[in-house]
Amino acid sequence: MRIVVLDGYAMNPGDLSWDELKSIGDSVIYDRTPTALVLDRAKDAEIILTNKVVINRDIIQSLPCLRYIGVLATGYNVVDTTAAKEKGIIVTNVPDYSTMSVAQLTFAFLLEFTHNVGKHTESVKSGEWCISPDFCYWKAPLIELYGLTFGIIGYGKIGKKVANIAKSFGMDVIAFSPRLKSMPVKDVAYAEIDEIFSKSDVVSLHCPLTPQTERLVNGERLGLMKPNAFLINTGRGGLVDEQALADALNTGKIAGAGLDVLSTEPPSPDNPLLKVENIFITPHIGWATKAARVRLMKIVVENIRAFLSGKPQNVVNR
């Protein structure tokens, strides 16, 4: 059994062990694989593991030994699942390994906006507190979350966890999800998308990127938001029209944005959001706590063992 990991570095930059995977079969692990080398590196593989390396129809048809593609993530748009199914190749993903970590980052953004911990720390270190005539001061408005409205678009596992945390702060939670409309949840009010943008003090995105949700956040919807509201995106960069968001922030139409994802990653230096005030951008780290990556590695191995036993799990192309 030959296993090839095309881009293992993001999941395991050296602080995890590949031993469990290696115990399954002959395993070759590459930190990164450029497109031009995919076929050469995977030519004898029965199992391919990929995170962001694209496995398209041409690649699938050119690998006669291939039986299984495992995606080292929840999103699996990097694989042509239809082409794989046509050749009888199983494709799996890893759901629900990063729920806690992504929800945590969502509130890291929000709490930074409401208390400006970084800005105040810089002020203190620069000596401003030392010469203050008062025992305290603040460089920006301090905002209490209690009683504010938290709007969620996408009420899957991460959306639900975010809602629970928001409620623990005493926030009112409204959410959009087709399933939520037909199956109401206690203490979470269903709302249409435009209503969420107009009523919320915080709008947080937790829906998948599809043709229907691409640029869901556009100039029109940003115009519905309160001028003191925040947008948080820990989902997919393509959910947001980045130029429209930059314009809204530059003109004060909304108070701030926290983004862990951009439409192109790594971003181009001319991405308009990189030059905007009142924005925090992290390099797609919401999923990457060590605890989450340990769970990810465990499920990757379990997926392969299940496939080899004839009972594949987490299959995305049945």
- Known catalytic residues are 236, 265, 284
Contact 264, 239 (CB under 8 A): no
Helix (H, G, I), strand (E, B) or coil at 247: helix
User: β-strands 230-233, 2-5: how paired?
Assistant: unpaired
Lookup: tokens for 157: 């596992």
Q: CA triplet 240, 241, 246: central angle to 5 degrees?
A: 105
Q: Which 8-state DSSP code applies to residue 36?
A: G
Lookup: tokens for 193: 């998308």
User: How many Å apart are CA 217 and CA 206, to the nearest integer?
Assistant: 12
Q: Give me the phi and psi of 173, to 5 degrees please.
A: -110, 130
CA dihedral 80, 85, 87, 92 (to 10 degrees): 70
